[in-house]
Structures are given as structure tokens and as C-alpha cells.
Amino acid sequence: MLHIGIITLFPEMFNILQQGVSGKALEKKLVQLERFYLRDYTQDARKTVDDRPYGGGPGMVMMVQPLRDAIHAAKKKLGEDTLTVYLSPQGKPVYQQQMVSFVESKKPLLLIAGRYEGIDERLIEQDIDQEWSMGDIVLSGGEIPAMAIIDAMIRLVPGALGDETSAKQDTFEDGLLEYPHYTRPRTLESLDVPEVLLRGNHRDIIRWRLKHALGRTWLKRPDLLDKLTLTSEQIILLQEFIEEL
């Protein structure tokens, strides 16, 4: 079972995960989510978690003590082999294969969602194992990146998705963008569904889907293609796609 802890000032934000696929996985106990409310680990009556930055400047910085105590409490519950991750724009951008590998590792994960200007550097140096980033944008907190990561991981837990294979056929699963999808009606404002998808020949459909996954990746995300070593069949399909363009 995937065991994830979150240290946050807004635990109720994670109620969103009770909807949809993640909600079902929680009900089926395929994943266990533990929320640690940071203010529960403060030592003053006002439950202070932040203070002014040394050196001056705008905003506030999150203090070490409440975060450190929350991390220790969380690791007691999750296990000492927990990977402690701080969400931050300074982190390594997350990517799908990283999610796959982590879920396969079956290790517990502790996510720390920062607020304000961020957290005291000394906590990062001493108590954080890794910093992960959701992308080169600046958010008001790490909660939404944490939720995105939890959602991406839950989908990979066996049994979380109705059809086991759909997590495997996802975009990025084989390093490619996904092929185009169509559903009823068959004709929409004179735009038809590609004929090959209607004929029901599975070999042709698989071939068409791989060709368009390769073609779309070439068009939209050539950087992903650079990371792959294409088979001779994939090279032929991509060339076919480019010629048809």
C-alpha cells in the first residue's frame, strides 16, 4: 500500500483527493494519506510557524522547530525509511518515470508543503532528503504540487484504475505523448473520426496510434523524442507521419 504523509498549514485542501480515482483508491485502502497540521507542532500559544527573514526583505520565512518536530512525528508514523521531500521551485522538476519508480520502491513518502517565502535553509540541509518542483512557476504554497504528485502516484498503484493497462498506456509512460482520442458522434461539424479507428482491425489501430503518438511527440515535444532510442519500426512510422503532414 502506498503510504504518504503531508505536512501542511491547510490540511483541508487535500480533501480534493477524496474525489474520483484517488477517492476510490483511498476507500479501497490502496493508499493511506496522513495529514500533519503544522500548527500542532508549535510551542507557543499563538501557534507561530513563521518569522521575519534575517537580512530583511519582503515576506516571512517558515521556522525550523515546528517543521522539524512535524517531520519527526511523521517519520515515526510512516517509518524511518520514509523519503522526505520539500516542494519548491528550487527542486528538480518531477516527471512520470520518477513517479513510477517511486511507487515501485514501495517506500513511504513525506511531502512538505511550504508557504510564505519558503523554509529556513538549515531545515533543508539537515532534514530534507530531496527537493521536487512542479515546474518553473511560483505558487502560493506547496499544497497543489503535493496533490498533483499524490494523484500521479495513486494512479500507478495496482488496482487504482479500473483497467490496469490504462496507467501503462498513459502519456509519458513509454516516453511519448498520447495518441489522439475520439468518441461519438462519428461526424462533428463535417470532421470525421479517422476511418482506421472505425474498421476494428486491431493491428491497424495499434499501428495508427503508435504512429500518431510518435508524430505528436515530434511536433509538440521533440525534447522527449531526443531522450528515446526509436526502433526501426518507430522510425518508419514517424517518417510516414511526417510525409503525410
Contact residues for ligand 4FV, defined by CB under 6 A: 87-89, 114-116, 118, 133-135, 137-139, 141-142, 145
The values of phi and psi at residue 122, to 5°, are: -70, -25
Strands 187-188 and 191-192: antiparallel
Least separation, in Å, of the C-beta of 47 and ligand 4FV? 18
Catalytic residue, chosen from 89, 174, 178, 209, is: 89
Which CB sits closer to ligand 4FV, 140 or 231? 140
Nearer to ligand 4FV, 137 or 191 (CB): 137
145 among known catalytic residues: no
Q: Active site includes 122?
A: no
End-to-end CA distance of the chain: 46
Q: Is 155 a catalytic residue?
A: yes
As measured in angstroms, the least distance from the Cβ of 98 to ligand 4FV is: 14
Question: Which residue, 87 or 110, is less far from ligand 4FV as judged by CB?
Answer: 87
Q: Which of 40, 117, 121, 192 is catalytic?
A: 117
Is-catalytic flag, 170?
Answer: yes
CB of 137 vs ligand 4FV, minimal distance in Å: 5
Question: From CA 68, how far away is CA 211, in angstroms rounded?
Answer: 50
Least Å distance, CB 225 to ligand 4FV, is 25
Active site residues: 89, 117, 155, 170
